[in-house]
Amino acid sequence: MPSGESQEGFRFQIDRSFETAHPTSTTAIHTPSLAWHAPGQAGEGLNPSPMVAYLLRRIVLVFLPTLLGISILVFTVMHLIPGSFVDVLVGMGTDITPEQLARMEQRYGLDKPLPVQYLYWLGNLLRGDLGNSLRTGNPVLSEILSRLPVTLEITLFGVLMALLLAVPAGVISAVRPNALSDLAARLLALVGLSVPNFLIATLLILFTSLYWPVFPTTGYKPLSEGLGANLRSIVLPSVSLALAMSTSVMRMTRSSLLEELGREYVLVARSKGLSERAVVFRHALRNALIPVVTVVGIRIGYLLGGTVIIEEIFSLPGIGRLALNAIYQRDYPVVQGTVLFIAFAFVLVNLLTDLAYSSLDPRIRQEE
């Protein structure tokens, strides 16, 4: 047995260790105030919040390098394509002398080396100037902004249709696994993943033209011509995009919800007598939608770049069709501007998705 003095020392050590692990005393509560620094001293300023620090890291390490790499890649590939804008402009004419061709290349700045052309274009880009179209002479930024509403409209309506179709189907499949509804949804999802969206668009045009001529198969009606005409003109393009997107979202919703329904907290909720609806929608579905947010964000980025084919099929004056026509005409500033704009939108959507994901799951911020 330890002596009385040793017992007092042992009890003192226990009390000190308890105060360290459980700061409930007055001294422990006020201790953090000793680390405060007045303005002008060391430690001045506030530390950024974890969300702001996470955002800055993503911008510096991902956002800006990705845009820079894409700009270099697009500029290089466009100038590796045989033929230049002057060749397309001249056509098959044989009465053009080499001196005239050289003057035309000098006029459009195509006589300089490629690195010089890129640096000149990049310098203008940093000032917010994407250049002028070689074909029309209009600013590239104004050309993009005039086509942006069409692309945004069909993309947003396509995403909305896909979510309204995919999330309920995924929930039903997860709640009733291996039932008839689950097998039907999985089969339709497999077919949707196998069929490309341009084939879906072609089949929709064929079906509408022959059997159900309610929606126009080509062209776009702006809102200035009426809300009904505008919505009818974007139904078929939006459905084409939605069907391709809904399959992956439905599969992710089903698999994620099935995983959540097998966790312990769901068993505890059921053991407390909660209804199945409350267990699914109030507890399991909220956690299951975290990976779905990531898939939706990635698919939105793909839709912004994948509208090129859909806009061409339905003759929509969007950004994708603008880029495609610029490639045909070797209009370098328009191609570089549109591709960079689409890449910017894609990276921005993914950045917002990362922020939404990290806000839903703070462990992402802690890991990085």
In three-state secondary structure terms, 132 is strand
Domains defined for the chain, CATH in brackets: 61-126 (no CATH), 140-367 (1.10.3720.10)
Per residue in 269-313, pLDDT (tens digit) is 888 888 888 888 888 888 888 888 888 888 887 777 667 888 889
Q: Could you report the per-residue pLDDT of 100-155, keeping only the tens digit for each?
A: 777 777 777 777 888 888 888 888 888 888 888 878 888 988 999 989 889 889 98
Which residue in this structure is represented by tokens 């260790």?
Answer: 17
Can you tell me the distance from the alpha carbon of 313 to that of 307, in angstroms, rounded to the nearest whole number? 10
Kindly give the residue spans of alpha helices, DSSP state H, lying in 226-331: 227-261, 264-271, 276-278, 285-313, 319-328
CA 190 vs CA 6, 178, 367: distances in Å: 75, 15, 35
- In this predicted model, what pLDDT tens digit does every residue of 24-37 receive, in sequence order? 443 333 333 333 34
